Amino acid sequence: MVKRKKAGFLFVLPGLLGVFVFYVIPFGDVVRRSFVQAVGSGFAGMKNYHQVLSNQAFCLAAGNTLRFVLVCLPLLLGLSLGIAVLLQGQEKGKNFLKSAYLVPLAIPAASVVLLWNIVFDQSGMLNGILSFFHLKGKDWMNSGAAFGVLVFSYIWKNLGYDVILWMAGLHGISESIYEAAKVDGAGAWKCFFYITLPNIRPVAFTIIILSFLNSFKVFREAYLVVGNYPQEKIYLLQHVFNNWFLELSVDKMAAGSVLLCIVLVVFVFLLQRSWDKEV
């Protein structure tokens, strides 16, 4: 048994080394840099953290990022689960719809950006449609509506992926459980709440983590469409980090990254604990 474990470890070793070389060691350097000055190696103590936490731009970006996650995650998880459950019971066109939902994921970021520009520009398609119905359009990307656009984009892009993941989870639930419940007089809602939800909990954990991490990737589209300084509602943490690097504020960038990492680890840890407890 011990020998088998050793063999397994050896197989994992290259990947583990990669993680160390490309993630753990660089992150160790980030932690070190968060305590030193930007250029040179003078010890800065907690000064960088203090600067970051009192930095208006960072606070705005952190608030926006949190708001984005709080709005997007429940929306995405709820919508994707709903669609997955509906598709699960569907016989006709199930595979076609599954593929259709995955199409946004296959579209390259550059094309998505082009689409954004065509649709959401001040003289774009959306305003054209609105004006056809005698409604006043707006500069979607340079007004408060930009946040809505960003949320829409995230949901649109990740919905299909989450639907597939949910469906994989749903597929694992034995049909006999549903049949037994129906025999006992359970309706569709009861089946959903008392059979489906408890049985997809292990999958839900993975989906939540993946969706949460994917929410940070939406920066790419926002950056490509409106650049380093977008409308302030969609000014996210990645904007700050990117701009700090351009200003050589590596000290602040490192401290900000460490803080973000702590928040992420705490979030994952708490989620896992709550999951473990309930299981």
Partner 1 sequence: MRKKRKLTALLMMLAMVVTLVAGCSSGGTEKKKTDGGGLKQGQGTEAKAGSGRFFENEITLPDGIDRIKSLKKLSDGSLGAVGEDSGERVYYLLQGKDFGKKWKKTKIKNIGTGYKPCAAMSPDGTAAFFDYPEDGTVKAHLVDAKGKGTAISLALPEKSKENRVLQAAYDANGRLIVRDFEGTLLEVGDDGSCKKLFDTKGVGINYFGIAGKLLLAVHNEGIFLFDTEKQELLEEEGTLNDLIIKDKKLASVDTDSGQPMVFSEGTQENDILFANADGIFHFTRGGSVIEQLMDSTFTSFGSGDVILQDMVVFDNENIFIAGSGSEFYYYSYDEKAASVPEQELTVYALDESSYLRKAVALFQKKNPDIHVNLEFGLSGKDGVTLEDALSVLNTNILAKKGPDVLILDGMSVDSYIEKGVLEDITNIVEEVEKEEGIFSNIIEGSKKDGKIYAMPARFLFSIVEGDKETLKAGGSLENIAKRAEELKKKDSSSNVIPGHKGTQTLLRDLYYADSATWQKEDGSLDEGRMTKFLENAKRIYNVDQSDKKEDFRDASIGDGTSSGVKTGTNDSAALINKSCKFSFGSITSFLEFQGMCSTWSQTKADYCLMNGETVKSYIPYLSAGVVAKENTEAAKLFVKFLFGKQAEADNTNESTGFPVNIAAFDVFCKEKMDDPHVKEGLSMAFGDGGGEEVYGFEYRNLTQKEVDKLTEIVKSLTQPSMTNRVIQEIVLEQGDKYLLGEQELESAVEAILQKVNLYLAE
Could you tell me which residues come within 8 angstroms of residue 99 by beta carbon, excluding any fewer than 6 positions away?
Answer: none
Give the nearer residue to partner 1 in terms of CB position, either 179 or 247. 247
Number of residues that this document lists for the chain: 279
Give the nearer residue to partner 1 in terms of CB position, either 208 or 258. 258
Give the nearer residue to partner 1 in terms of CB position, either 214 or 231. 231
Give the nearer residue to partner 1 in terms of CB position, either 151 or 240. 240
Are 51 and 252 a contacting pair, CB within 8 Å? yes
Smallest gap from Cβ 54 to partner 1, in A, equals: 11
Could you tell me which residues come within 8 angstroms of residue 147 by beta carbon, excluding any fewer than 6 positions away?
Answer: 64, 67, 68, 231, 233, 234
Give the nearer residue to partner 1 in terms of CB position, either 59 or 129. 59
Give the nearer residue to partner 1 in terms of CB position, either 167 or 234. 234
User: What is the per-residue DSSP string for 115-137?
Assistant: HHHHHHSTTSHHHHHHHHTT---
Q: How far is residue 32's CA from residue 251's CA, in Å, rounded to a whole number?
A: 9
Q: How far is residue 83's CA from residue 95's CA, in Å, rounded to a whole number?
A: 13
Smallest gap from Cβ 39 to partner 1, in A, equals: 5
Considering Cα of 34, then 37, then 39, then 40, what sign does the dihedral take? negative
CA distances from 93 to 1, 80, 156 (A): 48, 17, 20
Smallest gap from Cβ 46 to partner 1, in A, equals: 18
Smallest gap from Cβ 127 to partner 1, in A, equals: 11
Smallest gap from Cβ 142 to partner 1, in A, equals: 6
Smallest gap from Cβ 110 to partner 1, in A, equals: 13
Task: Provide the binding-site residues for partner 1, judged by CB under 8 A.
Answer: 10, 13-14, 17-18, 21, 37-40, 55-57, 60, 122-123, 139, 142, 228-229, 231-232, 235, 240, 242-250
Exposure class string for 14-30: b at 16+ Cβ within 10 A, else e:
eeeeeeeeeeeeeeeeb
